[in-house]
Amino acid sequence: MDAWDAWIGRSENRQDHIDPALVRRWLAMLDMEELSDDVVPQGLHWCLCTPETATAGLGPDGHPLRDASPNSFLPPVPLPRRMWASSIVEFLTPLHIGEHLSRRSKIMSIAEKSGGSGSLVFVEVEHLTAGAKGTAIREVQTIVYREAAAPDAPLTPPPLGETAFNPADWTTHHIVSPNEPMLFRYSALTFNSHRIHYDLPYATDVERYRGLVVHGPLTATLMLDLASRQFGNNALSGFAFRGLSPAICGELLHLVMRENDAEIEFGAFADDGRPVMAASATRKI
């Protein structure tokens, strides 16, 4: 029997509602204008039904502690570094301001692997978010746990090189520079206390990042915002993203997009062309 078999199929349920103030803060964080109706932007679901662990129940990295008890939704993987590796999202029904929601999360699979950085454990979680008209969003999220970084490990990602990102192969190109206030606001909106996003000494000295790390779903949210500005609000039926390397706070981030037949392709790149995130989407018919 695998060490984590008891966690496969484990589920938890959370309740929430879409508060108008939350939506206004979301729009402010992204420098977006006021909505013309009550349909909320795609990506805001990552601010809903978030874990509400007491501060005393957080681990050294700011995430909820995991143990072997029946109350621990995620398995007690003995690897300290956690990353949101990827997500596959289906947008089934738009969400509306004031709507009451429920979310059922279930662990689909747990897999141990070895990589260039050592042992890895991948945990795949399905999230079903339901509103007044039934299931509105289905998401399969992959979390990866990694070994601790050596105290003298090189900082990652490496310093920016002398090359420059070339957007010539993309039809839409937008440059942002996620800064400390944006990271703080996104952490607050998602109730995410992972210290790599706000605690610079922890990010550099313990996890050996070159600076504060831009949240993976924040980069994905910026891609969704790019699509919204191009195609209109709630234009996508599906969206999938995969993190490739960390985006660092205060550095330019190139967001690009192009259409290939029925699919939309996205990319996020550092200023020197280093790939940060790849994503794809489908538009509603």
Tell me the pLDDT tens digit for each residue of 114-155: 877 789 999 999 999 999 999 999 999 999 999 999 999 999
Tell me the pLDDT tens digit for each residue of 181-232: 999 999 999 999 999 999 999 999 999 999 999 999 999 999 999 999 999 9
pLDDT band, residue 5 (cuts 50/70/90):
confident
Percent of all residues in the chain with a pLDDT value above 90, rounded to a whole number: 90
- For residue 3, pLDDT over 90 is answered with no
- For residue 1, pLDDT over 50 is answered with no
According to DSSP, the β-strands at 81-91 and 236-243 are antiparallel
According to the model, what pLDDT value does residue 219 have? Answer: 98
The rounded mean pLDDT for the chain is 95
Tell me what the mean pLDDT of segment 32-53 comes to: 94
Tell me what the mean pLDDT of segment 259-263 comes to: 86
More confident residue, 222 or 1: 222
Instruction: Identify the CA nearest to 108 among candidates 140, 136, 71, 132.
Output: 140
Rounded CA separation 81/195 (Å): 11
Name the CATH topology of 5-283.
Answer: Thiol Ester Dehydrase; Chain A (3.10.129)
Question: What are the structural domain ranges in the chain?
Answer: 5-283
| Token pair of 51 as six digits | 């874990």
Question: Which residues on neighbouring strands pair with residue 264, listed in sequence order?
Answer: 259, 281
Q: Is 62 left (phi over 0), alpha (psi -120 to 50) or beta?
A: left
DSSP 8-class letter at 206: I
Sign of the dihedral defined by the CA atoms of residues 21, 213, 251, 85, in that order: negative
Radius of gyration of the chain (CA): 19
E strand or H helix at 225, and its extent? helix 216-231
Question: Which residues on neighbouring strands pair with residue 267, listed in sequence order?
Answer: 256, 278
- Residue 27 C-alpha from the chain's centroid: 17
Bond before 275 cis per omega within 30 degrees: no
